[in-house]
Amino acid sequence: MIVSGKDLAARLKAEMAAEVATFPEKYGRVPHLVVILVGENPASVSYVTGKAKDSAEVGIKNTTLRMPESVTEQELLDVIAKLNADSDVDGLIVQLPLPKHISEDRVIEAIAVEKDVDGFHPLNVAALWQKRPCVLPCTPKGIIRMLDDAGVEIAGKKAVVMGRSNIVGLPAAKLLLDRNATVTIVHSRTPNLAEVTAEADILVVAIGRPKLVTADMVKPGAVVIDVGVNRDPETGKLCGDVDFAACVDKASVITPVPGGVGPMTRCCLMENTIECFLKNQTK
Ligand code: GUN
């Protein structure tokens, strides 16, 4: 089964749009998401455009602030402070990566935790690892949604997460653990990588290397979730971290690139924005 994140995201976005349509009457306004983009990184430009498009579909107000690559850290922090103090703003994200002269840690920490719809703020991360209420990071949240929608049983399964990033690998492992999977995290220094991944009932791949996962690394009948977004060095087309053509017949469930995890990440960003908006209303 090829699981379309695009279709699931479209369904969820339609449900959210119906909910958001009731907000002006109930609350006098709709949720507002502000996205800050520094520089012109083509992948980031494309992600930010996608977020604006999804916002429009759901009825969320979207402001995309573009800043030049040369912006100083202090200038960026000043803009964040202003948006933190603006009661009309419910969600605030700064698209990563940032230019080398700006500290991502300082920027993430500067975002008000109650507007951190990425779930990247250290307080949200700590809350996640302590199983307290928090904003869940969008990509791992979207992955769990897809698994649930596809009817994949998580509890008791062996899950292998490839990659240990703050954005995907680590929180994905934690969410799978919270659903009672037995979780292994593998990375570039893991010996016998293929042997470990070939044991996985659920394989989540977030390494950032085109077509790294080949058929021999996949257990027959495994569930394969491909988080990678790369350019195929041969064709120049978008491709994942998994060699899809080689693995599609071996896996029982697999996600395509594009149209898999990506749309679900953005869908969960919309959900998180609504969540933060609603929390704002009851303050
Ligand atoms: N860069 C790649 N993925 C993400 C994401 O989910 N949020 C932000 N802010 N930047 C990213």
User: Which residue has the CA at smallest separation from atom 11 of ligand 1?
Assistant: 96
Task: Kindly state if the Cβ of 138 falls inside 6 Å of ligand 1.
Answer: yes
Question: Do 149 and 240 share a domain, yes or no?
Answer: yes
pLDDT band of 18, cuts 50, 70, 90: very high
Could you identify the atom of ligand 1 that is nearest to the CA of residue 44? 1
96 lines ligand 1 (CB under 6 A): yes
Buried b (16+ CB within 10 A) or exposed e, 58-89: bbbbbebeebeeebeeeebbebbeebeeeeeb
State residue 169 phi and psi, 5-degree precision: -55, -55
CATH number of the domain encompassing residue 94: 3.40.50.10860
**151 burial level (CB within 10 Å; 0-12, 13-18, 19+):** exposed
CA distance 173 to 176: 5
- The answer to whether position 162 is within a domain reads yes
Ligand 1 mean position, distance from CA 20 (Å): 24
CA atoms within 13 A on the CB side of 46: 9
Determine contact, residues 168/211, Cβ cutoff 8 Å: no
Domain count, the chain: 2
Residue positions annotated with a catalytic role: 51, 95, 118
Binding site membership of 170 for ligand 1 (Cβ less than 6 Å) = no
In-domain check, residue 3: no
- State which ligand 1 atom lies nearest to the alpha carbon of 94: 9
Residue whose CA is closest, atom 4 of ligand 1?
96
DSSP 22-52: THHHHHSS--EEEEEEES--HHHHHHHHHHH
Domain boundary among 121, 155, 187: 121
Pick the atom of ligand 1 nearest to 137's CA: 6
Tens-digit pLDDT profile for residues 171-219: 999 999 999 999 999 999 999 999 999 999 999 999 999 999 999 999 9
Domain boundary among 89, 121, 153: 121
Angle of the 261-281 helix axis to the 42-58 helix axis, nearest 10: 60
pLDDT in the model for residue 283? 57
- Cβ of residue 93 lying under 6 Å from some atom of ligand 1: yes
Residues 64 and 142 grouped into a single domain: no
* Residue 85: per-residue pLDDT: 98
Structural domain includes residue 143: yes
pLDDT in tens, 207-260: 999 999 999 999 999 999 999 999 999 999 999 999 999 999 999 999 999 999
Q: What is the CATH number of the domain that holds 143?
A: 3.40.50.720
State whether 91 and 149 are in the same domain: no
Q: Is residue 182 part of a domain?
A: yes
Q: Are residues 114 and 146 in the same domain?
A: no
**Structural domain boundaries enclosing 86:** 27-121
Q: Are 243 and 211 in contact, with CB atoms under 8 Å apart? A: yes
Residues sharing a CB contact under 8 Å with residue 40, sequence separation 6 or more, in sequence order: 69
Q: Do 39 and 95 have their domain in common? A: yes
For 242, phi and psi rounded to 5 degrees? -110, 135
Q: Which residue among 121, 153, 168 closes a domain?
A: 121
Q: Coil, helix or strand for 191?
A: coil
How far apart, in Å, are the Cα atoms of 174 and each of 183, 245, 248?
8, 29, 26
Q: Are residues 162 and 247 in the same domain?
A: yes
What pTM did the predictor assign? Answer: 0.97
Ligand 1 centre from 95 Cα, in Å?
5
